[in-house]
Every structure is written in C-alpha cells, then in structure tokens.
C-alpha cells in the first residue's frame, strides 16, 4: 500500500492515512487501500481496538480529493460516493472499538471518516468541519446523517450550511470530539484508551458496541430487548465465567475472547 500504513502494536492496530503532501486527502487509491487495511483488521481475531490517524503535522484528512472530483460526472460521483459509504460502513462494522486520533485538519470526507469511528479525540491544533457547500456539493460520505446523530440537528445544520471550520475546543463543546489533547500527547492518549479497552472482556465489548449501534436505530422497547438478548448470550462465554470467578478470587481476570 502506498498511502495507508497498518501497524500492529500488541492487540491494537494503528491505521495511518499517509499522503501528507495532499494533507491526506482521500482519492480513490487511498479509499481502496483503506478498505484493504480495514479488511485485514476485520480478519485479525487477536485485535481488540483500532486507532485511525493521519500522517504529518498538519492533517488528519483534509477531505475527499478535490482535484480528482473536479471532472466527475453524476455517474462517477455516485460510484465515488458508494465507495466512500462502503469503506466507512466497513469501518463502522468492525467488531472492535475504533478510535479517531484527529491530529490536524479533519474536513469534509475526513470529518466523515472520524465520525464513522466509535471515539474521537483531537489535538489542540485540530480543525474540524464539513465545507462541502463551499464547493457547491454536500457531505457525501454519510456526514449529513452521522454528524446529525452525534451533535443534533441544529449544530449539524449550522456546520453544514455555513461550511465553517471549528477548532478542537469548540468541537468538544458541541460533543463532536470527546477530549482535546496537546498534539504530542494525542496518540499516546488514544493508545492508552485502546489499551484499557483491550484488557476488558472482548466479546462483551463487541456486544456492547453492537447493541449501542443497532439499538440507536430501533424503538426503545426493541433496543432494550436487543440488550437483554446480548446480556444473556454473554453468560454462555468462558470469559464471563473467568471474569466473575476472578472477582470472587480477588485476582486479575485473564480473558481469551471466547
């Protein structure tokens, strides 16, 4: 892969979009390579969390590649949008938690990429936004929907209609990012959170993710039923036995993901 790096650090994978000369903008090749990295991660049963970040000092991802999009016909735009949706959906569908380490500009498709992750942390110098209307298009990788679900209709409309960027502090204030860290500490913080998650019961964590995600689109009654089913199911795992036994025996649990 030329523009995407996949590094394994114990139970944690770090995926880096590595095209700093174009501020890590997403062209078709980057999207294809990102899809390849996500597929590899999805098939690695030993992984417990994934961190996604951008190479260089300036950007997480400054959006879809504008140069490449300039000449798109409607049909090509549809293919590109389908590709983007497919990649982000595969990221969202990973069983393990995903963490966006937003180290700089996260604009347009870059902001949408972060929104497809479970947790978003940002560096103090990060700038986030969905400036598509400045190019006379709209967010095309799920941004109108995921941003709205995360920050609410009014804030999403404000960001999408104006196309203005916001700084990390404002992004935290509106609930778009969880925490703001000094640039030098961002990746370390994300690794620490990933490491904490990696110590927990893996099947429980992935079931919690599944119930939260699927439940969000269901009526409360059905979502609570989903929770009850998953809760009961976990009592059929070896890890549940180990977790509760370890508590009673006052020792650290050793989970195997079974």
The catalytic residue positions are 112, 132
Sign of CA dihedral 133, 134, 140, 143: negative
Shortest spacing between CB 95 and ligand DAK, in angstroms = 26
Strand order in the sheet with 119-123: 4-9, 12-17, 49-54, 98-102, 119-123, 179-181
Shortest spacing between CB 61 and ligand DAK, in angstroms = 8
Q: Is 107 in the site for ligand DAK (CB under 6 A)?
A: yes
Beta-strand relationship, 4-9 and 12-17 = antiparallel
* Residues ≥6 apart with Cβ < 8 Å to 125: 104, 168, 183
In 43-73, which ranges are continuous DSSP H helix?
A: 66-69
Shortest spacing between CB 165 and ligand DAK, in angstroms = 7
Q: Is 80 in the site for ligand DAK (CB under 6 A)?
A: yes
Q: Is 142 in the site for ligand DAK (CB under 6 A)?
A: no
Taking Cα atoms as reference points, which of 126, 134, 128, 127 lies closest to residue 163?
134
Nearer to ligand DAK, 31 or 197 (CB): 31
Q: Is 132 in the site for ligand DAK (CB under 6 A)?
A: yes
Shortest spacing between CB 163 and ligand DAK, in angstroms = 8
Helix, strand and coil in the chain, % to nearest 5? 55, 15, 30
Q: Is 33 in the site for ligand DAK (CB under 6 A)?
A: no
Q: Are 80 and 64 in contact (CB under 8 A)?
A: yes
Q: How far is 190 from 174, CA to CA, in rounded Å?
A: 20
Stretch touching ligand DAK by CB under 6 A, among 9-17, 20-28, 185-193, 227-235: 20-28
Nearer to ligand DAK, 105 or 255 (CB): 105
Using CB under 6 A, pick the residue from 6, 11, 17, 23 that binds ligand DAK: 23
Using CB under 6 A, pick the residue from 77, 133, 154, 169 that binds ligand DAK: 77
Q: How far is 67 from 53, CA to CA, in rounded Å?
A: 22
Task: Give the total of residues touching ligand DAK (CB under 6 A).
Answer: 23
Q: Is 81 in the site for ligand DAK (CB under 6 A)?
A: yes
Which positions touch ligand DAK (CB under 6 A)? Answer: 22-23, 25, 62-67, 77, 80-81, 84, 105, 107-109, 131-132, 135, 137, 140-141
């Amino acid at each position: 892969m030329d523009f995407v790096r996949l590094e394994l650090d114990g139970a944690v994978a770090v995926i880096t979009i590595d095209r700093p000369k174009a501020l890590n903008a997403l062209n078709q090749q980057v999207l294809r390579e990102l899809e390849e990295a996500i597929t590899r991660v999805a098939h690695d049963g030993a992984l417990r969390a994934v961190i996604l970040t951008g190479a260089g000092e300036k950007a997480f991802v400054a959006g879809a590649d504008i140069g490449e999009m300039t000449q798109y016909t409607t049909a090509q735009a549809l293919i590109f949008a389908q590709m983007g949706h497919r990649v982000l959906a595969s990221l969202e569908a990973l069983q393990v938690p995903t963490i966006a380490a937003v180290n700089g500009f996260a604009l347009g498709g870059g902001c949408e990429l972060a929104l497809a992750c479970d947790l978003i942390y940002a560096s103090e110098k990060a700038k986030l936004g969905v400036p598509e209307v400045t190019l006379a298009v709209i967010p095309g990788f799920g941004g109108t929907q995921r941003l709205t679900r995360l920050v609410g209709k009014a804030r999403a409309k404000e960001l999408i209609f104006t196309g203005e960027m916001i700084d990390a502090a404002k992004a935290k204030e509106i609930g778009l990012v969880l925490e703001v860290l000094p640039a030098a500490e961002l990746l370390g913080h994300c690794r620490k959170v990933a490491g904490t998650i990696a110590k927990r019961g893996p099947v429980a964590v992935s079931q919690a993710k599944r119930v939260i995600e699927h439940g969000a689109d269901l009526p409360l009654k059905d979502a609570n039923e989903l929770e009850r089913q998953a809760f009961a199911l976990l009592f059929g795992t070896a890890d549940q036995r180990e977790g509760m036994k370890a508590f009673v025996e006052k020792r650290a649990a050793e989970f195997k993901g079974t």
